[in-house]
Structure 1
Amino acid sequence: MEAAVVERTRDRVGHVKRVGYVKKGIAKRKCCRRVRRRALQELFLSCLDVFKGPGTVPPTQDVLKLRRILDNMKPKDVGLTKEMPFFRPTNAVNGDSRVRYTTIYQCDNFSLCIFFIPATGVIPLHNHPGMTVFSKLLLGKMHIKAYDWAEPVNFYGSVASSSQSRLAKLKADRVFTAPCDTSVLYPTTGGNIHAFTAITPCAVLDVLGPPYSKEDGRDCSYYKDYPYTASNGDTTVKSEEADSYGWLEEIEIPENSQMDRIEYLGPPVIEPTC
């Protein structure tokens, strides 16, 4: 997530201290690296192998491989600790609910990003056209609401419909607390349209394949959801299933979608030389 969400942000790199990201404890240790590959490096090398570019979806065995790596990752693997000022219960970041993000790595096929969402902060309801996205909640507690379109769509989530509102199937509407399993969404399934609301300060590691690209037809769209009612169009569902559906209306870029970019100061990833 994390789309034009990212592309449309204000690039303010001078806010590192507001999260408390530090370089302490991330020096290279050759002896340890010989014994056990660093988790982030393992994730990076696996992504190089798994993501084949736009128009593709990783096969099941590759999805399971990335999920296994992410499920085992800890905050320290990207240079974070719960003792950092941002994650302290008494810290409200001066009452600012603005989201920050940092990019670990990005290429045409995938990107690795971390989102820092302060308590009450929101990443509004948005989609991921033609993308497979892995989200790992590293720290904190957040509410996730996610939908998939109820009507048939193409690979990029488009549909031949002139209606302002479209029926969507609710896929998730609950609270997640770190540590928890990695969530995965696909171009047309898995909750491709989702929103995050932080209950406590959160850090979310996202793997997006491929990244957002307006030029390649993967621009980010935002939505407002409404409860399902029989009067909202021609489509009807059984009354007992009404709570599992909603109407989504595409909206202009919300003001609370703006984010601040901060410098990544965690362990680096090392590109292979051959």
Structure 2
Amino acid sequence: MNNKSYKKRTNTKKQMSNTVQKLFETCKEVFATGETGCVPPPADIERLRLVLDSMKPEDVNLTPSMPYFNRAENEDAPPITYLHIYECNKFSIGIFCFPPSGVIPLHNHPGMTVFSKLLFGTKHIKSYDWVTEIPSSMDENGNLLRDRQRPGTRLAKVHIDSDCTAPCMTSILYPAAGGNMHCFRALTACAVLDVLGPPYSDSEGRHCAYYHDFPCTIFSDGAELLPEDDKGYAWLEERERPENFVVVGAPYSGPKLLSSS
């Protein structure tokens, strides 16, 4: 190997390591409190978003040709691979690898601020936030249509319902805004780098819940529930984790963190 080639490889590895290390160090500062429901200040949110916006698949040693992104023939619900990079009680960093048609079903992020960076590919995302003030619509008998909701359901407003293709800006959701309940469907092979602050923790009340979503008129006897925008709302009903939702772990092969202290 000539000296020029060696220097080029060394510089590339150093750049990759610096990018992942910068993400880690920024997360340590942004999520210093690690408290449930504590949203970092806007300046810190922007600082972390800019780091993630700059990241590329090669920074974490990923390419679409890797086996994680292959879908077996006639496979209705292909498994999704998770590459664990780091986790502590204040934040976690990891990558979800989707084969085409891979789905993460509708789920929540209680008390968490979540950054999702699409590294490559195209996905469809649909997300909701809870509606805290339901408009007072009455039927012909003077009954509030909101009282016709199915027991166990709760009204939510659509935040996003669209396709997303890399390169694109990092999406951010908050404990009570930004699409806290969301689902992903991979339209092509794609990789999503996720930062959660703080991470899921059953012992601290941050349990992942899954939901069915129903059109908002489905329980209203054909009457309009929300006259101004029926299509922008849905009833969400908590469900068990879908049996066909399979996530498998695989070793992360990108640059290692220089320190996890």
SS in 2 for 1:129: coil
Q: Provide structure 1 residue ranges, at least 5 long, that are not aligned to the other structure.
A: 1-24, 153-161
Cα distance in 1 between the residues matched to 2:204 and 2:219: 36
1:230-257, Cα deviation, whole Å (9 max, x unpaired): 7449xx7532311110000001111133
Structure 1 residue 104 and structure 2 residue 85: aligned?
A: yes
Whole-angstrom CA distance in 2 between matches of 1:38 and 1:203:
20
Residue identity opposite 2:71 in structure 1: A
**Matched-pair contact (CA < 8 Å) for 2:118–2:166:** yes
Q: Give the length in aligned residue pairs.
A: 235
Q: 1:92 aligns with which of 46, 55, 71?
A: 71
Q: For residues 78 and 95 of structure 1, what CA distance do their matches in structure 2 show?
A: 30
Contact persistence 2:16–2:58 (CA under 8 A): no
Q: Which residue of 2 aligns with 1:71?
A: 53
Question: What corresponds to 2:139 in structure 1?
Answer: none
Give aligned-pair identity as a percent.
Answer: 49
Deviations 1:91-148 (A, max 9, x none): 4245541111011001110000100111111100000000000000101111000000
Question: Pick from 38, 47, 57: which aligns with 2:18?
Answer: 38
Residue deviations 1:41-84 (CA, integer Å, cap 9, x gap): 11100001110212321110000001111111100111112343
Match of 1:144 among 102, 105, 125: 125
Q: Which residues of 2 match residues 191-270 of structure 1 at below 5 A?
A: 191-229=179-217, 231-232=219-220, 237-270=225-258
| 8 Å CA contact 1:122, 1:256 repeated in 2 | no
Q: Residues 31, 133 of structure 1: CA spacing in aligned structure 2 closer, same or farther, 3 A cutoff? A: closer
Q: TM-score, normalised by structure 1?
A: 0.78
Q: Distance in 1 between matches of 2:250 and 2:71?
A: 18
Larger C-alpha radius of gyration, 1 or 2?
A: 2
Counterpart pick for 1:188 among 172, 176, 190: 176
TM-score normalised according to structure 2 size = 0.82
Runs in 1 of length 4+ with deviation above 3 angstroms?
27-33, 82-87, 93-96, 230-233
Gaps of 5+ in 2: 1-5, 134-149
